Structure 1
Amino acid sequence: MDKKKLLVIGIIIYLASTAVAFGVSRIFAPKIDGDLVSPQSLITDSEGNVQIDPGEPKTESCPLNGMLFTKTERSIWEGRRPLAVMIENHTDARPQSGLGSADIVYEAVVEGGITRFMGVYYCGVAANNINFSPVRSARTYFLDWVSEYDALYAHVGGAGKCNDPTVDEKAKALCQIDRYGIKDMDQFGISYPTCFRNPDRLSKTVATEHTMVCSSNGLYFVAESRDWTNVDEDDVSWDEDFRSWEFSDGDKAQDTPDATKISFGFWDGYKDFNVIWDYDKADNSYKRTMGGEAHTDFETKKQITAKNVVVQLTKETGPVDEHKHLLYETIGTGDAFIFKNGEAIEGTWSKNKRTARTLFYDENGKEIQFVPGQIWIEVVPKGKKVDF
């Protein structure tokens, strides 16, 4: 066989394997209210994005953040479970890819005053194949939030295998992933093209640890191969014990907003991680600034916004070992500031066990009703000042 034929065969095999890996033609659609959206009727583009009829009404509420989507999108997400992805926040990693598409985002310090994000994806990525980057390693306190969703957990390694004597027992995230039975999507067990190093993502040279890219369709395809869809290998649905937050019926700004600029830091002296959320009354949303610059999503080139911002104050302990790992109190109660509709609510948070939902309450003990849309949970060491 000559070289030209071998080349053609090689290209065909590569294209076929890539299509399978990204699951372009594998969109599963359960029944919704008696209607069936056939998988064959869902048209995808070359990037794996489902083409949604622009005239289709958005009537379906996302159980994670209350935002409305189409029945077509719901038919896709109901065959899946939430996907939690660790995304780093080193200055060399900015701007990140994928944060703007998350339903919920958590932010907390890892080591050395550097924060890390965990995006929770479910409804917002149903019809879209999203790139996440840079994906980084697991930390123990994020596992307590992953457990609220029985989510797939995408990360690149993490702190502490069970037999690692250099890591504090309470900080051994990799050991706990196994012990808790978390649906582990560690990149070390996932190959190209689902996850890969892309040193050219940004127009600057960065260290290798800042280059990992993973795709949402690829991760969901891998999860399906492990029998982790909307149900697990034991046929238990992810939302069997899920407790959704409460959401308001509308999206209406206050006539006279009392919190138009929210600002706080995580550690003193680490200005690159100081955060400002500026309220935009016209859009009834908050625009994010970090380290003095507008925080944008690399994929969309748009400034990151949120409908709700929560500052959860909690006890920080550490460093607890030679790796300078930290611990955060995620189970218990504490103070919180909740910002929505241009108003500031001084309230509390409560979580009674690892798998339970973190709930937020106002000063009268009434559960918070979030505005439908993206929610950011900023986990800040208690004692830090929050200005608004």
Structure 2
Amino acid sequence: MRFVWDRSVRGRMAAGLGVAVLGGALAACSDGGGPGRAEPPSATGGDTGTPAPTAPATHPFTGGKRGLRNPVLAVKIENTRPALPQSGVGSADIVYVEQVEGGETRLMAVYSSKLPKRVGPVRSARISDLHILPQFGRPAFAFSGVQSKMKKYIRKAPVYDISQESAGSAYFRAGPKPIPYNLYADPKNLLKQAPKAAPPRDIGFTFGPAPEGGKPTKGFTARWPATTMGFTWSAKQSRWLASWGGQPDRAAEGGVLGGRTVVVQYAKTTRSKFHDFLGSYTPLIHTTGTGRATVLRDGKAYSAKWSRPSEDKGTTFTTPDGKPMPFATGQVWVLLVNDGKPYTP
């Protein structure tokens, strides 16, 4: 069950789309450059947005005690040099880093336990977002727009569309940066446009003390075809401090971005059917199935395995002996990198 879309100055989305879970309402499209298909996620499966009777003991995204029933909001954020420093990323529960056209990356920040005052620069969505989001039930999804021919798929996706086009009052332009790097949004206002957005639910993460083993590690650099992000352990701050292109990845609010846990998830990246106006194809990141991962926490690197049976299910991470790989309580970064050398599809 998978999906597709986009519209950005840089990218036009895509991927193969299937009809099975949407009752034949959509025409099937095969991937343009790799094995496997990208079918729409179920529009009816998963969380309907109705809160469960009781809250979980800890937040399933962070392992903390805060915001246990707060709605889930996902926001697409630019992650290239003209966009830095970004706003609101430090408040996210989970930060996904996804490859887009031209070998660059874009963030998808997921919020629930707390909200920043503003977030951005907000940019357009990509196909890989809709492969990731179904595990959250039916979250609110904020983005600047999508390719016009993808709009029908957005309408059928299990998300509340609070894009600039449908929730314009929550968006504003600010600062000296030129368009499209100056579009921001007010998260509280965004969620007012999606009053039935799903509360947090289990997405496969576990939290707790670090397991035995692990390799003492000062830092790690993730590589995509046109950019890099590094994470260096800070014992003083008890978290991994992020860098972008070799320089500290500073937050607009001050300080350096980074998380308590950094997951390097090696996922097959293939060419989707669609491309942007420059002819660069949109990557399709395959986040279902199984694969290898490296989990960084507490100054150590742990070898792990990831598994996700379907797009409406969460992603579990296990140690080589099959036990759950616990994360440190706090913000989690998930770096989606190609399983192999950096690859431009």
Q: Give your verdict on TM over 0.5.
A: yes
Q: Does 1:334 align with 2:291?
A: yes
- C-alpha displacement at 1:346, in angstroms? 1.4
**1:207 corresponds to which residue?**
178
| Per-residue CA distance 1:262-318 (angstroms, 9 max, x = gap) | 112111xx2xx21111111233211111112110110x2110121100111111112
- CA distance, structure 2, for counterparts of residue 369 and residue 176 of structure 1: 35
- C-alpha displacement at 1:120, in angstroms? 0.5
| Per-residue CA distance 1:181-218 (angstroms, 9 max, x = gap) | 321111111133x21122x2xxx4x3311111101111
**1:197 corresponds to which residue?**
173
What letter corresponds to residue 220 of structure 1 in structure 2? L
Q: How does 1:156-171 map to 2 (within 5 A)?
A: 156-159=144-147, 161=148, 164=149
In 2 relative to 1, CA 210–375 (structure 1 residues): closer, same or farther, beyond 3 Å? same
What letter corresponds to residue 148 of structure 1 in structure 2? Q
- C-alpha displacement at 1:180, in angstroms? 2.5
Q: Does 1:179 align with 2:156?
A: yes
**2:309 corresponds to which residue?**
352
**2:85 corresponds to which residue?**
95
| Per-residue CA distance 1:133-179 (angstroms, 9 max, x = gap) | 111111111112221112111111124x4xx3xxxxxxx4x443222
- CA distance, structure 2, for counterparts of residue 67 and residue 256 of structure 1: 24
Please tell me whether the aligned partners of residues 264 and 384 of structure 1 are also in contact (alpha carbons under 8 angstroms): no
- C-alpha displacement at 1:115, in angstroms? 0.3
In 2 relative to 1, CA 292–254 (structure 1 residues): closer, same or farther, beyond 3 Å? farther
SS of 1:65's equivalent in the other structure is coil
SS of 2:274's equivalent in the other structure is coil
In 2 relative to 1, CA 258–94 (structure 1 residues): closer, same or farther, beyond 3 Å? same
Q: How does 1:81-160 map to 2 (within 5 A)?
A: 81-125=71-115, 129-150=116-137, 151-159=139-147
- TM-score, normalised by the number of residues in structure 1: 0.68
What letter corresponds to residue 315 of structure 1 in structure 2? K
- CA distance, structure 2, for counterparts of residue 121 and residue 315 of structure 1: 26
Question: Between the two proteins, what is the percent identity of the paired residues?
Answer: 26
Please tell me whether the aligned partners of residues 347 and 360 of structure 1 are also in contact (alpha carbons under 8 angstroms): yes
Please tell me whether the aligned partners of residues 100 and 283 of structure 2 are also in contact (alpha carbons under 8 angstroms): yes
RMSD: 2.7
Q: Does 1:286 align with 2:276?
A: no
- CA distance, structure 2, for counterparts of residue 321 and residue 328 of structure 1: 14
Q: Which residue of the other structure, out of 312, 315, 334, is the alignment partner of 2:268?
A: 315
**1:66 corresponds to which residue?**
63
SS of 1:383's equivalent in the other structure is coil
- CA distance, structure 2, for counterparts of residue 94 and residue 68 of structure 1: 31
**1:42 corresponds to which residue?**
none
In 2 relative to 1, CA 124–112 (structure 1 residues): closer, same or farther, beyond 3 Å? same
- C-alpha displacement at 1:256, in angstroms? 9.7
In 2 relative to 1, CA 257–282 (structure 1 residues): closer, same or farther, beyond 3 Å? farther
Please tell me whether the aligned partners of residues 261 and 330 of structure 2 are also in contact (alpha carbons under 8 angstroms): yes
- C-alpha displacement at 1:320, in angstroms? 3.5
What letter corresponds to residue 73 of structure 2 in structure 1? L
In 2 relative to 1, CA 254–307 (structure 1 residues): closer, same or farther, beyond 3 Å? farther
SS of 2:161's equivalent in the other structure is strand
- C-alpha displacement at 1:62, in angstroms? 2.1
Please tell me whether the aligned partners of residues 263 and 296 of structure 2 are also in contact (alpha carbons under 8 angstroms): yes
Larger Rg: 1
- TM-score, normalised by the number of residues in structure 2: 0.76
Structure 1 runs not aligned, ≥5 long: 1-29, 34-59, 165-171, 231-237
SS of 1:376's equivalent in the other structure is strand
- CA distance, structure 1, for counterparts of residue 88 and residue 309 of structure 2: 31
**2:251 corresponds to which residue?**
297
Structure with bigger RCO (C-alpha 8 Å, 6+ apart): 2
**1:306 corresponds to which residue?**
259
Please tell me whether the aligned partners of residues 311 and 378 of structure 1 are also in contact (alpha carbons under 8 angstroms): yes
Please tell me whether the aligned partners of residues 279 and 342 of structure 1 are also in contact (alpha carbons under 8 angstroms): yes
Please tell me whether the aligned partners of residues 253 and 342 of structure 1 are also in contact (alpha carbons under 8 angstroms): no
In 2 relative to 1, CA 187–343 (structure 1 residues): closer, same or farther, beyond 3 Å? same
- CA distance, structure 2, for counterparts of residue 287 and residue 314 of structure 1: 23
- C-alpha displacement at 1:372, in angstroms? 0.4
- CA distance, structure 2, for counterparts of residue 130 and residue 381 of structure 1: 33
**2:47 corresponds to which residue?**
none
- CA distance, structure 2, for counterparts of residue 383 and residue 103 of structure 1: 28
- CA distance, structure 1, for counterparts of residue 203 and residue 125 of structure 2: 24
Q: How does 1:233-248 map to 2 (within 5 A)?
A: 238=199, 242-248=202-208
- C-alpha displacement at 1:64, in angstroms? 1.2
